[in-house]
Structure 1
Amino acid sequence: MTAGLFKVDYLDGEVLKWHATSDGVETVSNTDFTPTIYAIPDGDHSFEELADRLDPHPLAMDMQLEPWRRGWRHDPEPVLRIDVPDIDAVDELASHLRDIGRPGDVKCFNVDFSREFRYCLETGQTPDPARDLRTLGLTAPATAMVDDVLSKLSVDGERVSGSPEAVVERVDRALGRIDPDVLILSSSELVPALYDAADVVGRDDFDLGRRSGWQTLAGASTFESYGQVGHSPARYNVPGRAIIDRSNTFFYDQSGLQGILDLSRRSGKPLQELAWASIGNVLTAIQITESRELDVLTPWKSWRHEFFKSMRTLHEADRGGYTFAPDVGVHEDVHELDFSSLYPNIIVTRNISPETICCDCHDSEDVPGLGYSICDERGYLADVLEPLISDRDAIKAEIRETDDEGRKQALQQKSDAIKWILVSCFGYQGFSNAKFGRIECHEAINAYAREILLNAKQTLEANGWRVVHGIVDSLWVQANDGMAQTALEAVAREIFADAGIRLEYEGGFDWVAFVPMADSKAGALTKYFGRKHDGEYKFRGIEVRQHSTPPYVADCQRELIEVYDSTRTPEAVCDRLDRQLQRLRSGEVNPMDLVIEVRSSKRLEEYTQSTRSVAALERAEAAGIGREPGQPVEYVVVDESKSGRERVQLPHEGIEEYDAAFYATEVIRAAESVLSPSGWREETIREYLADRVEPTIGAF
Structure 2
Amino acid sequence: MVLTVEYTDDGVREWHATANGVRTRRNTSYTPTIYAATTAGDGLDRLADRLEQRGDVAAVEQEGWRPAFRRDEERVLRIDVASIGRVQPVAAWIRRQGRPGTYRLFNVDLSRAFRYCLETGRDATPQRSLRTLDIEYPQPGTPEVPVTALRIGDDLCETPTEVVATLRERLHAVDPDVLVLSTAELVPAVTETGQRLDAPVQLGRRSGYEQLASASTYESYGQVGHSPARYDVPGRVLIDRANTFFYDETTLDGCLDLVERSQKPLQELSWASIGNVLTAIQIREAVARNVLVPWKSRRHEFPKQMRQLHDADRGGFTFAPAVGVRETVHELDFSSLYPNIICTRNVSPETIRCDCHDRADVPGLGYSICDEPGYLPDVLGPLIDDRDAIKAELADIDDPARRATLQGRADALKWILVSCFGYQGFSNAKFGRIECHEAINAYARELLLDAKAQLEAAGWRVVHGIVDSLWVTPRPGRDRTPLPEVATAVTEQTGIRLEYEGEYDWIAFVPLRNSESGALTKYFGKRAGGGYKYRGVECRQRSTPPFVAECQRALIEAFDQTRDPEAVCTELADWTSRLETETVDPEKLTVTRRTSKGLGEYTQSTQTTAAMQRLADGGWESAAGTDVSYVVVDDDRTDRERVRLSAEGCDTYDISFYRKQLVRAAESVLSPVGWRAEDIEQALSGQLTPPLEHFG
TM-score range, shorter chain: over 0.9
Alignment of 1:69-218 (within 5 A): 69-143=66-140, 145=142, 150-161=147-158, 163-204=159-200, 206-218=201-213
User: Any idea what SS the aligned residue of 2:652 has?
Assistant: coil
Q: Does 1:391 find its partner at 2:380?
A: no
Partners of 2:499 and 2:254 lie apart in 1 by 24
Where does residue 680 of structure 2 map in the other structure? 685
Q: Provide, for residues 628-665 of structure 1, a one-character-per-residue CA deviation record: whole Å limited to 9, x for no partner.
A: 11111112111111122221121122212111100100
In the alignment, the residues of structure 1 paired with residue 67 and residue 513 of structure 2 have an alpha-carbon distance, to the nearest angstrom, of: 51
Please report how far the alpha carbon of residue 149 of structure 1 lies from its aligned counterpart in structure 2 after TM superposition.
6.2
Q: CA deviation at 1:153?
A: 0.5
TM normalised by structure 1 equals 0.97
* Partner Cα separation in structure 2 for residue 132 and residue 183 of structure 1: 14
Shift of 1:5: 2.2
- The one-letter code matched in structure 1 to 2:637 is K
Q: Give the conservation status (yes or no) of the 8 Å contact 2:65–2:292.
A: yes
Aligned equivalents of 2:151 and 2:290: distance in 1? 49
Q: Which moved more, 1:658-667 or 1:43-52?
A: 43-52
* Distance of 1:234 and 1:104 partners within structure 2: 34
Q: Which residue identity lines up with residue 594 of structure 2 in the other structure? A: R
Q: Distance in 1 between matches of 2:507 and 2:141?
A: 45
- The question of whether the paired residues in 2 share the 8 Å contact of 1:42 and 1:104 is answered with no
Which of 225, 232, 243 is equivalent to 1:230?
225
Partners of 1:50 and 1:588 lie apart in 2 by 76
CA distance in 1, matches of 2:398, 2:601: 55
RMSD (CA atoms): 1.3
- Work out the CA distance in 1 between the residues paired with 2:71 and 2:37: 14
Q: Distance in 2 between matches of 1:626 and 1:504?
A: 48
The equivalent of 1:516 in structure 2 is 511
Contact 2:333/2:500 (8 A) holds in 1 = yes
Of the structure 1 ranges 605-614 and 68-77, higher mean CA displacement relative to structure 2 is found in: 605-614
The aligned amino acid for 2:181 is: L
Q: CA deviation at 1:491?
A: 0.1
What SS does the corresponding residue of 1:578 show, helix, strand or coil? helix
1:620 matches 2:615: yes
Task: Return the letter of the residue paired with 1:137.
Answer: D
**Secondary structure of the equivalent of 1:145?**
coil
User: How far, CA to CA, are the matches of 1:562 and 1:310 in structure 2?
Assistant: 53
Distance in 2 (CA, whole Å) between partners of 1:521 and 1:400 is 41
How many residues of Structure 1 are paired with residues of Structure 2 in the alignment?
688
- The share of aligned pairs that are identical, in percent, is 58
* 1:223-622 paired onto structure 2 within 5 Å: 223-622=218-617
Q: Which SS does the other structure have where 1:381 is aligned?
A: helix
Shift in Å, 1:330? 1.1
TM-score of the two chains, using structure 2 as the length reference? 0.97
Give the conservation status (yes or no) of the 8 Å contact 2:142–2:621.
no
Asked whether the equivalents of residues 146 and 624 of structure 1 are also in contact (C-alpha less than 8 Å), the reply is no
Structure-1 residue corresponding to 2:47: 50
Alpha-carbon distance in structure 2 between the residues aligned to 1:102 and 1:689:
74
Deviation at 1:164, TM superposition (A): 2.5
Contact 1:45–1:105 (Cα < 8 Å) also in 2: no
In the aligned structure 2, how far is the partner of 1:24 from the partner of 1:336?
51
- Per mean C-alpha deviation after superposition, the further-off stretch among 623-632 and 489-498 is 623-632
Question: How far apart are 1:144 and its partner, in Å?
Answer: 6.7
SS of the equivalent of 1:143 reads: coil
Question: Given residue 87 of structure 1, which amino acid in structure 2 is its aligned partner?
Answer: I
Amino acid paired to 1:557: Q
Structure 1 SS opposite 2:620 = coil
**1:677, distance to aligned residue in structure 2 (A):** 0.9
Deviation at 1:146, TM superposition (A): 5.0
- Structure 1, residues 385-404: CA drift from partner, whole Å, max 9, x if none? 00000011111111112222
Q: 2:143, 2:189 within 8 Å by CA — same for their partners in 1?
A: no
Q: Are 2:143 and 2:186, in contact at CA under 8 Å, matched by a contact in 1?
A: no
- Residue 572 of structure 1 and its aligned partner are, at CA, apart by 1.0
1:589 partner SS: coil
- The 8 Å contact of residues 141 and 622 in structure 2, kept in 1 or not, is answered as no
Q: Secondary structure at the match of 2:322?
A: coil
Q: 1:219 aligns with which of 204, 214, 217?
A: 214
- Structure 1 residue 13: Cα displacement: 2.4
Secondary structure of 2:600's partner?
A: helix
Shift of residue 44 of structure 1? 6.5
Structure 1: segments with no counterpart, 5+ residues: 694-700
**Contact 2:146 2:160 survives alignment (8 Å):** no
- Please report how far the alpha carbon of residue 124 of structure 1 lies from its aligned counterpart in structure 2 after TM superposition: 1.1
Residues 518-549 of structure 1, C-alpha deviations (whole Å, 9 max, x = no match): 01111000001111123121111000111111
| Cα deviation, residue 408, structure 1 | 1.2
Q: CA deviation at 1:667?
A: 0.7
1:399 aligned partner, one-letter code: L
Structure 2: stretches of 5+ with no match in the other structure: 689-696
Moved more, 434-443 or 148-157: 148-157
Q: 1:562 to 1:43 in 2, by over 3 A?
A: same
Shift of 1:92: 1.2
* Counterpart-to-counterpart distance in 1, 2:30 and 2:143: 41
Alignment partners' CA distance in 1, 2:645 and 2:204: 34
The answer to whether the 8 Å contact 2:145/2:192 transfers is no
Deviation at 1:618, TM superposition (A): 1.7
- State the shift of 1:43 in Å: 4.3
